[in-house]
Amino acid sequence: MIDVGGTEGGVRLRPPRHRVARRAVLWWSCQAASRVVVLLAAVGFGAWWSPFPNRALVIALIVLGVLGIGYVAVMPWWRYRVHRWETTDSAVYTAAGWLSREWRVAPMSRIQTVDTARGPLQRALGLSSVTVTTASAAGPLTIDGLERDVAADLAERLTRTTQATPGDAT
């Protein structure tokens, strides 16, 4: 473990304990599939409407299709394996990413706001995201793919804890 802040009472950086909801895999799969479909549609449109037969665009369409299928099949499960979160009385811990991984800790005394967000697909799947904004230049911590009730409880608990934590969050 790494001591953050260099003080004896500092927050310890350690792997978060909780996984996100398993339905997050479906949410990430739908997001990935929509990106792949848009990309394939753009290349397919270019190949179809090109004034000259263009084999390169057709080959690109096939290659992108194969890579896209691999992306949709692998990325959501990989993210599910990596994404973790945890809160304690002293900090919020997150681990996220799939190509590049990010492991972060935010001491309660540095938290400025706690927000929840639910897009249309998240609502349909009963999922939510929690964003914890801190006084850090690294930006907010986001925990995606939480069960709706877990996210609401987490936001409420973090808000109570940060209000009771001394300091001005700067």
Q: Bridge-partner residues for 95, per DSSP?
A: 84, 103
Structural domain boundaries in the chain:
19-84, 106-164
Q: What is the pLDDT of residues 26-66, one digit of tens each?
A: 999 999 999 999 999 998 888 788 777 678 888 888 999 99
Tens digits of residue pLDDT in 101-127? 888 988 888 899 999 999 999 999 999
Other C-beta atoms lying within 10 Å of the C-beta of residue 93: 23
Per-residue pLDDT at 73: 97
**Between 97 and 114, the higher pLDDT residue:** 114
Q: What's the pLDDT tens digit per position in 120-154?
A: 999 999 999 999 999 888 889 999 999 999 999 99
Evaluate if pTM is beyond 0.85: no
Tokens 């753009």 sit on residue: 42
| Residue among 31, 54, 43, 21 nearest 143 (CA) | 21
